[in-house]
Amino acid sequence: VNRVAGVVGGSLGGMQALEWSIMGGKDFVRCVVAIGCGATHTGWQIGMSETQRQAIYADPKWRDGRYPSHDPPHAGLAVARQIAMCSYRSFEGFSNKFGRSVTEDGAFQVKNYLEYQGQKFLSRFDPLTYVQLTEQLDTHDVGRDRGGVANALGKIDVPLLVIGIDSDILYPLGMQQEVVDLTPGAKLKVVKSINGHDGFLLEQEDIGSAIKDFLVDPESSS
């Protein structure tokens, strides 16, 4: 591969996309799209990660991560997923979808939703892998060993489109604005959504259109 036509990523993938824009340079990377992320993981994101890890650690089956494959700490992982799901959505989204609605058994509808999401997650994720993934997220810092965030972003010469969701509480829009403000020529696309961080997955039409236009002409796309 002599040159990459485009790097596109959302959330953790967006963090990796930013690294491509810094490490690759315009001679190797034609353009980059980073969605729903910031230049670093701040105390807010690290705190969210830590509460999820603590939920897993509190499960007696955690065993310091040395649990047998047939008996993993699933209860802790399910709670971790429930915490994450709250951070992935928004106040408006949860209020509109659940409000104070209760089910026939008297439980709040949002409780049943979170329990369902937690249980569904168990079939496709390992607890130790989840812990390590959150730790990997927390290391994100484009300015590390590069003289700080402003210095690192200021040297980017690759056309960069940053997409943010206006209701994202996990990676608030100000984080995307910071990346754009510090990166020469970078463009910001704000997507309106009540879906919070998950809007980067759910608002396919708006995000897809912005990506398509940018990939066609990254130098002039707005």
Q: Where a domain ends, among 117, 138, 159? A: 138
Identify whether residues 84 and 158 lie together within a single domain. Answer: no
Residue with tokens 């403000």: 181
Residue 174 lies in a domain: yes
In a domain, 2, yes or no: no
- The two counts, helices (H) then strands (E), for the chain are 10, 4
Q: List alpha helices for 60-123, DSSP H.
A: 74-88, 91-97, 109-121
Query: Quick check: is 197 catalytic?
Result: yes
CB 62 within 8 A of CB 127: yes
- Assigned domain for 221 exists: no
Query: What pLDDT digit, counting tens, does each position of 98-122 carry?
Result: 999 999 999 999 999 999 999 999 9
Please classify residue 45 by burial: count the beta carbons closer than 10 Å to its beta carbon, then call 0-12 exposed, 13-18 middle and 19+ buried.
buried
Q: Exactly one of 21, 138, 197, 198 is catalytic; which is it?
A: 197
Token couple for 8: 């596109």
Q: pLDDT of the chain along its 222 residues, tens only? A: 899 999 999 999 999 999 999 999 999 999 999 999 999 999 999 999 999 999 999 999 999 999 999 999 999 999 999 999 999 999 999 999 999 999 999 999 999 999 999 999 999 999 999 999 999 999 999 999 999 999 999 999 999 999 999 999 999 999 999 999 999 999 999 999 999 999 999 999 999 999 999 999 998 755
Alpha-carbon distance 146 to 16, whole Å?
16
**21, 49, 90, 168: the active-site residue:** 168
Final residue belonging to a domain, choices 138, 157, 184: 138
What is the pTM for the complete model shown? 0.95
**Which strand ranges, in their side-by-side order, compose the sheet holding 160-165?**
7-10, 32-35, 160-165, 187-191
Question: Same domain, yes or no, for 27 and 51?
Answer: no
Structural domain that includes position 94: 43-138
List residues bridging with 165 in a β-sheet. Answer: 191
Contact yes or no for 152/12 (Cβ under 8 A): no
Per annotation, catalytic residue among 11, 21, 90, 167? 11
Same domain (yes/no): 59, 121: yes
Active site residue 168: yes
In this structure, are 131 and 156 located in the same domain? no
End position of a domain, from candidates 118, 138, 158: 138
Q: CA-CA distance, 85 to 194, in Å (whole number)?
A: 14
CATH number at residue 74: 1.10.1740.110
